[in-house]
Structure formats: C-alpha cells, structure tokens
C-alpha cells in the first residue's frame, strides 16, 4: 500500500473529509478523539501491525501514524 492509500484509509477510519498529509497534526483533525483512536487500533490490527495504546499516545501527526505502519506501506 502507498502512503497516499494509507492516508485515504485513515480518513475513512476516523470519518473525516479533511485533507490530510504527513504534517497534519492529529489534534487538528475533526472527530479525532478516543473513538477514533480505537478505530485506528482496530485498523492497524486488520493490517497485521501490532501497536499498543501507548504507541498511539506518542503519535502527534499523520506522519507518526505512517511510521507506525511502515511495515505495510511501500517506500
């Protein structure tokens, strides 16, 4: 999967129509809350990427999410 596809999937998972890129801060995303984090954790699980709640706590941007999912994203 490409970074662009991953970002589009993130938009669907957290149910936002905002334009996102690597530099978008998670706190600036509409509807980014605890439910969104749980949805993202489920999405990462579906991808086969093992992450903990603590991993998400350290994420500040979409780029940080990309880094967490690097094993399933094509360079």
Domain ranges for the chain: 3-70
Mean pLDDT over the full length of the chain = 93
The better pLDDT of the pair 5, 75 is held by: 5
Model's pTM, two decimal places? 0.90
Q: Per-residue pLDDT tens for 49-65?
A: 999 889 988 999 999 99
The single-letter DSSP state of residue 27 is G
d(CA 17, CA 11): 7
Percentage, residues of the chain above pLDDT 70:
99
Q: Distance (Å, rounded) from C-alpha 72 to C-alpha 33? A: 24
Once rounded to an integer, what is the mean pLDDT over residues 8-27? 95
Quote the CATH superfamily of domain 3-70: ACP-like (1.10.1200.10)
- Which H or E element spans position 56? helix 53-57
What are the structure tokens assigned to 22, written together? 């690597």
């Amino acid at each position: 999967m490409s970074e662009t596809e991953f970002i589009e999937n993130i938009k669907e998972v957290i149910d936002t129509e905002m334009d996102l890129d690597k530099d978008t801060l998670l706190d600036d995303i509409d509807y980014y809350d605890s439910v969104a984090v749980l949805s993202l954790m489920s999405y990462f699980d579906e991808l086969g990427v093992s992450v903990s709640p603590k991993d998400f706590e350290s994420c500040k941007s979409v780029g940080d999410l990309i880094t967490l999912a690097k094993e399933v994203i094509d360079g």
